[in-house]
Amino acid sequence: MLHLLAQTPALPLDEAGKYVAAAYGVFVTILVVYVAIIGARFARVERELNELADMAEEHDELGQREPEHVA
Amino acid sequence: MIRTAAILFRKDLLVEVRTLQSLTAMVLFSVMAFVLFHFGLDRDTISGSLAAGVLWVTLLLATVLAVTRLFVAEREQGGFETLLLAPIDRTAVFVGKAASLFTFLVAVEIVALPAFDILLLQGTILDGMPQLLAVVLLADVGLAAVGALVAALGAETDARELVVPLLLMPLLVPVVIAAAKASAPLLSEPAASAHLGRWLLMLTFYDLAFVLVSLGVFDYLLED
Amino acid sequence: MVFGNGLRALALVTAAALALAMGLIFFYAPLEADQGFVQKIFYLHVPLAIVALCGWVAGGIFGIQLLRTGDRKWDYRSYVAIHMSLIYGVAVLLTGSIWAKASWGHWWVWGEPTLVSFLIVFLLYCTYQPMRFSIADPEKQGRYAAVFAITAGAFVPLNFMAVRLATPLVHPRVFTRVAGDLPGSMRLTWLVSLVAIALLFVTLCKLELTSKSAKDNLRRLRRRLEARDEAAAERAFVGAN
């Protein structure tokens, strides 16, 4: 590959900059998208946990009311 | 273990001889593929690396056909439960199935290689002969070992027809590389044998590696 | 099964490492004679590839552990390592393609054996998730996935050797340059970048493992609460009659 490299002249800085920016941009984009997806997952976990906490508290209230029925 | 494997192997062979399903499909597929290549490449004869490529890609795809059907008899007639209830080593199943697949491949090649010779070479296949046979047999071992492993991996899924080819093809790339590189000079005119040793070595190494891996992991498949 | 311990510290170290790497890449490493500024992509692309491959092999090792111990945490680790390497793999192929286009004018070059064998391995691992999720029973799924991970992990080095042998040795390849003729400042930059990318991999894996186990624990909790609710409702029904 070195002899290929010797034949192709280095790109001028402004053009080369675009490719380098594109490559690093791909990396950052993938990273951010991934973090966003994990963030969405955590948001869902929070919502469900909230629901379950409500469910557990309701259940406790019901449990407190039961002795009245039995008596 | 060897005896169990032998019994399973004989059973598979008997089933195949009686029904001839997989073998016919593989042979017909290979010959049809050669015909298609004639039209697709618009050539009467091919040689060298082109011939090697056509031959090995065709054999690879025929292997995919066989692998998809490797456990079909067990699945359809409830043979799986019998197999799993019997107190046998899973590795015996692997050896038996791999041996069957190897035999199928050799049987198909007995027909396909002459067909290839007649249709696409100019009857020159005998020039490369004993070396080409070594390449084919070594490659078959690799195809059989990996094929049996992937067949077991796909045996319990419903998406079998998709999973098996997609799994097989990347795993068999080294076999195609080595076999094609080895066959290319053997299929040229005049038949030479450049670097044959290197490719045979690679095939042997690959075969060894995957037989060992399969023997190691097969116990954990088909377990219930 | 808790995975989140130490996640914050790890993430901070990773962020520092990445910042250091970026600084070195753009402000310290000298411009390369042949490729010029485009060569900077190398500090990103090669570490991504190395870490992705190690991640896949690690997935296989975790698979062995799962089969040996039966502890489900190894299944989680194996799955996440393979999955993360797949994402890294996408980045490798994209950055490799951009680098190829900038350096040689083509979006793909067959003459670079490491890129070619990476593509093959990537295609293989693309089948991991479809294969895995087509098996319904979770215990069986874990086992079969482990077998896949082990087989594919063994395949990675084999494939690299095979493709390297197959590529004509006319062109000396970039990796030989990496190993041999990198001047000191470039080698330091490359090493720091490698460490930063590897740390990022481990951090993201930890993050995903934490989120997965949180979801699973949530499901356990929900099931338990719903069962208790049902039992209470039955008792109330019986009591009323």
Q: What per-residue confidence (pLDDT) applies to A70?
A: 52
Q: Is residue C104 part of a domain?
A: yes
Predicted-complex ipTM score: 0.85
**What is the H or E stretch that residue C64 is in?**
helix C42-69
- What count of Cα atoms within 13 Å lies in the side-chain half-sphere of residue B100? 30
Q: How far apart are CA C178 and CA A33, in angstroms?
A: 31
Question: Is the CB of residue A19 less than 8 Å away from at least one CB of chain C?
Answer: yes
- Phi, psi dihedral angles at B89 (to 5 degrees): -70, 130
Selecting from B149, B162, B209 the residue whose C-beta is nearest the C-beta of C158 gives B209
Scanning the structure block, which residue is given the tokens 């390297």?
Answer: C164
What is the reported pLDDT for A6? 44
C150–B159: do the CB atoms touch at under 8 Å? no
Task: Give the mean pLDDT of chain B.
Answer: 85
In this prediction the pTM is: 0.86
Chain B residues within an 8 Å CB radius of C158 = 174, 205-206, 209
Within-domain flag for C240: no
User: Which 89-128 residues of chain C touch chain A by CB within 8 A?
Assistant: 90-91, 94-95, 98-99, 101-105, 111-112
pLDDT by position in tens, chain B (length 224): 778 788 888 888 887 777 787 888 899 999 999 999 988 998 888 888 899 999 999 999 999 989 988 877 676 666 666 666 666 777 888 888 899 999 999 999 999 999 998 888 877 777 777 888 999 999 999 999 999 999 988 877 777 788 889 999 999 999 998 999 898 888 887 767 777 888 899 999 999 999 999 998 988 887 65
pLDDT for res C176: 41
Q: Which residues of chain C have pLDDT under 50?
A: 170-173, 175-180
Whether B147 and B22 have beta carbons less than 8 Å apart is answered as: no
Quote the number of domains for chain B: 1
Q: What is the pLDDT of residue B110?
A: 92
- Residues A17-27 have a mean pLDDT of 90
Per residue in C18-28, pLDDT (tens digit) is 999 999 988 88
C124 touches chain B (CB under 8 A): yes
The total domain count for chain C is 1
pLDDT of amino acid A11: 65
Q: Is the residue at C147 inside a domain?
A: yes
Q: Which residue has the higher pLDDT, B144 or A69?
A: B144
Domain encompassing residue C171: 7-235
Task: Note down the domain range covering B76.
Answer: 2-219
With CA atoms as reference, the chain B residue closest to C160 would be B174
Q: Nearest by CB to B177, which of C151, C155, C166?
A: C166
Tell me if B117 sits within 8 A of B125, measured CB to CB.
yes
Q: Is C2 within the bounds of a domain? A: no
Express each pLDDT in B187-212 by its tens digit: 887 767 777 888 899 999 999 999 99
Measured CA to CA, the distance from residue C99 to residue C224 in angstroms comes to 53
- The pLDDT > 70 percentage for chain A reads 68
Q: For residue B198, is it within any domain? A: yes
Q: What is the pLDDT of residues C19-57, one digit of tens each?
A: 999 999 888 888 877 777 888 888 999 999 999 999 999
- Phi, psi (rounded to 5 degrees) for B202: -60, -45
* Chain position carrying tokens 């753009």: C26
Residues of C in Cβ contact (< 8 Å) with B223 = 143
Identify which of C38, C232, C239 has the shortest CB distance to residue A62.
Answer: C232
Alpha helices in chain B (DSSP H): 2-19, 21-41, 48-68, 72-76, 79-85, 90-119, 129-155, 160-171, 173-186, 196-217
Task: Inspect the interface and report whether the beta carbons of C127 and B167 lie closer than 8 Å.
Answer: yes
Q: Which residues pair with C36 in a beta bridge?
A: C32
Interchain CB contact of C148 with B (< 8 Å):
yes
In a domain, C213, yes or no: yes
Query: Measured between CB atoms, does B53 come within 8 Å of chain C?
Result: no
Find all residues with CB under 8 Å of C14, minimum gap 6, and list them: C196, C199, C200, C202, C203
C54 lies in a domain? yes
Residue C1 belongs to a domain: no
Q: Per the domain annotation, does C55 fall within a domain?
A: yes
